[in-house]
């Protein structure tokens, strides 16, 4: 009953020509029954958006500024994203939280702006290794889920909210969560969403797994009952590996 959503987070990779080539190849090979999206660097959103025209592949942004406009050097607003045809926006990615020291209240403001702007929000949550070792995984995930304004998300509907569970220790490390570890946290997230809203809402929200997902481990992760797609970093930089993951979600 949930359509899987597989999104590629290109991070600070590609140049204009390779971004357009990658988007063109993804658009040509995307499976029909899976929602597929790509999130290029800001500066290539326009060119990638043009390359995706006429395809079902959605255009995503890796980040956004919560402010509407003004003196915010280096930042881009939701209105600018709308102007470029952006469909989904990531908030709370671990690299924003940890490398750029983005605190929870800033993440929360961004998530609210994304929902208010009518985009699909892909809200990333996940624990660091020391937090997992200290049995704090579910507490960390719950606190990060609390960054989403329940009223705003509820008003926009379950289709506009996607949660990406990305254990920090699995991102870009080659070490993925096991199928069971992923399912355990995904089931917890769904039950937390049901407590916050209701079971019907929670049953319709897509929960992606992210963290070293690749063609070899995708099928096992994606066949877990509460895993509804993936947020893919490294493996999204090549069309064949990204499309193999998207096909594994079919």
Only one residue has tokens 């509804």, namely 228
Which of 9, 35, 62, 181 contacts ligand PEP by CB under 6 A? 9
- Angle (nearest 5°) at CA 237 between 236 and 239: 75
Q: At its nearest, how many Å lie between ligand PEP and the CB of residue 174?
A: 8
* 211 contributes a contact to ligand PEP by CB under 6 A: yes
Residues known to be catalytic: 93, 166
Q: x-or-dash pattern for ligand PEP, window 120-159, by CB under 6 A?
A: ----------------------------------------
Give the integer Cα–Cα distance in Å for 37 and 120: 11
- Does 212 sit near ligand PEP (CB under 6 A)? yes
> What tokens does 27 get?
């658009």
Name the minimum Å distance from CB 231 to ligand PEP: 5
Please, which residues have CB within 8 angstroms of residue 195's CB and are 6 or more apart in sequence? none
Nearer Cβ to ligand PEP (38/231): 231
Residue 238 structure tokens: 């090549």
Binding residue for ligand PEP, selected from 104, 118, 157, 172, defined by CB under 6 A: 172
Q: Which of 138, 166, 226, 144 is nearest to 190 (CA)?
A: 226
**Which region among 29-37, 133-141, 185-193, 204-212 touches ligand PEP (by CB under 6 A)?**
204-212
Distance of alpha carbon 201 from alpha carbon 154, whole angstroms = 8
CB nearer to ligand PEP: pick between 77 and 241:
241
Token pair of 97, please?
A: 């939280």
**89 lies in the site for ligand PEP, by CB under 6 A:** no
- Minimum distance of ligand PEP from residue 214's CB (angstroms): 8
**210: contact with ligand PEP by CB under 6 A:** yes
Cα distance between residue 129 and residue 98, in whole Å: 13
Q: Where are the alpha helices (DSSP H) in the chain?
A: 16-29, 45-52, 78-83, 94, 104-116, 129-133, 137-145, 150-156, 179-196, 199-204, 215-222, 239-248
- Please identify, using beta-carbon distances, which residue of 48 and 171 lies nearer to ligand PEP: 171
62 binds ligand PEP (CB under 6 A): no
Nearer to ligand PEP, 197 or 209 (CB): 209
Interface with ligand PEP includes 233 (CB under 6 A)? yes
Residues 18 to 47: which contact ligand PEP by CB under 6 A? none
């Amino acid at each position: 009953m949930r359509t899987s959503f597989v999104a590629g987070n290109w991070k600070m990779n590609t140049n204009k020509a390779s971004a357009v080539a990658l988007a063109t190849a993804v658009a040509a090979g995307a499976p029909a029954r899976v929602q597929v999206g790509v999130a290029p660097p800001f500066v290539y959103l326009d060119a990638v958006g043009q390359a995706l025209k006429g395809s079902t592949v959605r255009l995503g942004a890796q980040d956004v500024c919560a402010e509407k406009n003004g003196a915010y050097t280096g930042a881009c607003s939701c209105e600018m994203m709308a102007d470029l045809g952006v469909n989904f926006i990531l908030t709370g990615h671990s690299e924003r939280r940890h490398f750029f020291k983005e605190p929870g209240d800033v993440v929360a403001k961004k998530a609210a702006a994304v929902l208010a702007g009518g985009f699909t929000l892909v809200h990333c949550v996940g624990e660091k290794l020391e937090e997992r070792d200290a049995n704090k995984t579910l507490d960390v995930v719950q606190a990060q889920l609390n960054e989403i304004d329940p009223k705003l998300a509820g008003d926009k509907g379950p289709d506009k909210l996607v949660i990406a569970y990305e254990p920090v220790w699995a991102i870009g490390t080659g070490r993925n969560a096991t199928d069971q570890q992923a399912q355990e946290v995904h089931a917890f997230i769904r039950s937390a969403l049901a407590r916050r809203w209701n079971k019907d809402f929670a049953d319709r929200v897509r929960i992606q797994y992210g963290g070293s997902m690749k063609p070899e481990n995708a099928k096992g992760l994606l066949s877990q009952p509460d895993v509804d797609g993936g947020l893919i970093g490294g493996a999204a930089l090549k069309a064949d590996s990204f499309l193999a993951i998207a096909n594994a979600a079919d």
